[in-house]
């Protein structure tokens, strides 16, 4: 970063050891190499909003458990004038030693500093109406949004990530971290890993590129910070309220006709994606033409969103959803390896994980499946229940069956091949000793999903709910819910949240 002019010897907030009672500072800097920048003025005017280059220091990388320890920002207005502001924050929790080693911020420094709650209004005043620019914006915006959410504020700013800008403008170069940018462009920073020092590097990065590659920088910004062309019958103000977190959304046509139900762990982004792609996919085109209203339901996390989407599609039968719309009775093949009985095609009966196979729309489809595997694996029509009687089956007469029906192979040999053939469509045996609870969500939205034998029993917020759900009437087995749960619980990260429940 450009060194400060010798016309001022005032220390910047991020360069001082901030003592208790002096954590909150604001200053209008005019001698930092950015003041009244013609290049930045051109960039801001082209983007249509003032910029706020923001950096945070935190107690760690988890937006739920960790907290902000310092905020620094460089605001840039339409005239290219810059204003620097920074403050330490009391995170109200321990600052790990490795964080102190990196940033120099320890618990003594933040003692007496304002909490985020106390600084909330000051931050909102400075950030509202600005495009926030941050290096690895997902990190900084994640902490800001989570912190504002705890204070009851839905903070959804326009944003740009300088890492992504660097990648777009230097596509053949390795390394896009802040240190790499400084080395590449000859920028300096006297307070690295402090909020204001790093925010200044981002501002100078923009200034440097605005001065030499403005058109390319604008193209990269617009590509990243793009607002889709919304359908004429949808208001932008409606979309402003859609949260960034996980949930389910419902898109309606005129007269309340439900067009589409979808889910995402990033609701706002996913909804906007429909209208960004309306020129490419037929479904998106129909949504853009017919959409009149959007509703959404926030969920605790990804699993809750997946399950709610599946249920809403079955219950509401939206016009443009094809998947998950099954309403017919589920048919399966019931068979126990090692038993003497032939496979049975059952519809509407209780599914037994481990001894049930497939999900078929009709008995005819299940029967067709059995005939196909008989032909592919040399199986006996009589042993499979496809033909009655004794003696050689029809398959043996045409030299397809390997002869279990005439004693040329044992039942065990035949049934082992049958088990192997059915394995790919087997309803997996329940891997737990009883019902389980799967915890999901952050503090204010935390919930416990109750599951047994691949059947979703419901959400519980306390022990009373757990007891009621375990004792209540059990829903029917649902093949789509089974597939959702199977994929979810196959992930080792999710299995760590499982808790075995007593009956």
Give catalytic residue positions. Answer: 193
End-to-end CA distance of the chain: 64
DSSP of 221-273: HHHHS------TTS-HHHHHT--SSSEEEEEE-GGG-EEEEEEESSHHHHHHH
Instruction: Tell me which residue has tokens 């829903």.
Output: 475
Contact in structure between 346 and 358 (CB atoms under 8 Å): no
Cα–Cα nearest to 231, from 175, 161, 287, 189: 287
Contact in structure between 201 and 181 (CB atoms under 8 Å): yes
Query: Which residue spans within 40-196 are E strands per DSSP?
Result: 51-58, 68-76, 82-88, 131-134, 158-161
Distances in Å between the Cα of 42 and the Cα atoms of 76, 83, 157, 162, 188 are 11, 17, 21, 18, 23
CA distance 440 to 445: 8
Cα–Cα nearest to 83, from 127, 45, 30, 23: 30
């Amino acid at each position: 970063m450009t060194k400060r002019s010798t016309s001022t010897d005032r220390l910047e907030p991020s360069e001082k050891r901030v003592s208790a009672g002096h954590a909150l500072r604001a200053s209008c800097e005019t001698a930092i190499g950015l003041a009244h920048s013609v290049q930045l003025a051109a960039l801001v005017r082209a983007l249509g909003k003032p910029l706020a280059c923001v950096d945070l220091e935190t107690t760690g990388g988890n937006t739920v458990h960790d907290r902000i320890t310092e905020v620094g920002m460089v605001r840039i207005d339409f005239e290219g004038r810059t204003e620097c502001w920074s403050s330490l924050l009391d995170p109200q929790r321990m600052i790990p030693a490795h964080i102190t080693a990196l940033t120099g911020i320890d618990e003594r420094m933040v003692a007496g500093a304002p909490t985020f709650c106390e600084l909330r209004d000051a931050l909102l005043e400075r950030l509202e109406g600005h495009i926030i620019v941050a290096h690895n914006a997902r990190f900084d915006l994640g902490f800001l949004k989570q912190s504002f959410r705890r204070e009851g504020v839905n903070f959804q700013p326009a944003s740009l990530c300088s890492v992504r800008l660097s990648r777009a403008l230097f596509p053949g170069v390795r390394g896009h971290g802040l240190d790499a940018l400084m080395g590449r462009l000859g920028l300096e920073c006297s307070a690295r890993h402090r909020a204001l020092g790093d925010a200044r590097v981002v501002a100078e990065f923009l200034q440097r590129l605005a001065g030499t590659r403005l058109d390319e920088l604008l193209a990269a910004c617009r590509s990243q910070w793009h607002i889709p062309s919304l359908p004429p019958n949808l208001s932008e103000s409606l979309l402003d309220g859609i949260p960034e977190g996980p949930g389910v959304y419902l898109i309606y046509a005129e007269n309340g006709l439900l067009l589409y139900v979808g889910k995402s762990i990033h609701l706002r982004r996913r909804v906007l994606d429909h209208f960004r792609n309306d020129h490419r996919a037929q479904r998106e085109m129909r949504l853009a033409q017919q959409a009149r209203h959007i509703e959404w339901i926030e969920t605790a996390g990804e699993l809750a969103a997946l399950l709610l989407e599946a249920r809403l599609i079955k219950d509401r039968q939206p016009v443009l959803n094809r998947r998950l719309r099954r309403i017919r009775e589920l048919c399966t093949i019931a068979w126990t390896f090692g038993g003497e009985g032939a496979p049975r095609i059952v519809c509407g009966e209780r599914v037994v994980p481990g001894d049930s196979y497939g999900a078929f729309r009709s008995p005819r489809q299940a029967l067709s499946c059995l005939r196909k595997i008989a032909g592919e694996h040399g199986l006996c029509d009589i042993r499979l229940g496809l033909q009655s009687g004794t003696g050689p089956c029809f398959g043996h007469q045409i030299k397809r069956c390997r002869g279990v029906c005439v004693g040329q192979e044992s039942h065990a040999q035949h049934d082992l091949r049958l088990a192997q053939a059915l394995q790919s469509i087997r309803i997996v045996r329940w891997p737990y000793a009883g019902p389980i609870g799967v915890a999901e969500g952050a503090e204010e939205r935390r919930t416990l999903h109750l599951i047994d034998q691949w059947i979703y029993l419901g959400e519980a917020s306390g022990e009373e709910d757990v007891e009621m759900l375990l004792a209540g009437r059990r829903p029917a087995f649902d093949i789509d819910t089974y597939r959702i749960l199977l994929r979810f619980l196959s992930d080792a990260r999710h299995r760590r949240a499982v808790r075995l429940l007593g009956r």
